[in-house]
Amino acid sequence: MSLFLKIDRFASQPRLVGVRSLCAHFGEDANGIFVCMDPQKPFFSIYAAEDRYLLQVHTPTLTLNKKTLHPTAATWLENQDCIEFGDYTFSVFITSSEAEVLTACGAKLEDLPDQSLTPKPPRAILEHQELSRSFPLFPGLKMKAGCSQTAAIFIEAPDIFPEHFLIHNRDDGIYASPLQGSITINGQEILEEQLCPPGTVITLIPSDVRIQIEA
């Protein structure tokens, strides 16, 4: 599956861009011109996680499907979602059919430069009931973990709160902080944000769900 964005703006020709790398950043440059790489005024970023895509908002007035999103945590994108900011409208297409998107949009496709990171970002490894799943932790990314359908790390298990805790990859390291639920860091319960270097094991209590931070 690939993600495509149709970009509409007042008095401008529509653009269609393909997001095929692990991450892409959208916004304006210093002159107020829309750019899809290294924006001076970032609107949002999109991160690939397996076959799904996370939206990280960088401005408090952006809306997703007419609902205002705050830059607190990443949100999963779905096919035909609509992102709006100012006079911009971004229509989301998540599909394996490039021809279908070209037909629907009637615009020439632009493939974005690969903005993926080298080396690869650290990961959060969710372990539960002998199953595991990896989530890339891109710089600046905030991910809520819990049983809410909107949680970036969705955990369907007893004793898990809708927004149990938050992982944030900041400039100075990866941090975890409890929200509605309680967590331990390497066996010690914490009450506030704490640094989680590679090798850290986060346990959601009172459950046995574990998340390990790997470089």
The 8-class DSSP code of residue 112 comes to: P
pTM of the model: 0.74
Token reading at 215: 């470089």
Q: Which domains does the chain have, with CATH numbers?
A: 2-111 (2.60.200.20), 123-214 (2.60.200.20)
Question: How much is the pLDDT for 178?
Answer: 97
* Helix boundaries (H) for 62-123: 98-105
Question: How much is the pLDDT for 41?
Answer: 92
101 conformational bin, left if phi > 0, alpha if psi -120 to 50, beta if neither: alpha
The 8-class DSSP code of residue 120 comes to: P
Report residues of the chain scoring pLDDT below 50: none
What's the rounded Cα separation, in Å, for the pair 12 and 8? Answer: 7
Query: Strand pairing of 82-85 and 88-95?
Result: antiparallel
Q: Position 165: which residue type? A: F
Question: How much is the pLDDT for 201?
Answer: 97
Convert the pLDDT of each residue in 116-127 to its tens digit: 655 678 999 998
Which residues are registered as beta bridge partners of 128? Answer: 131
Query: Residues 6 or more apart from 97 whose CB is under 8 A from it?
Result: none
What's the rounded Cα separation, in Å, for the pair 145 and 51? Answer: 18
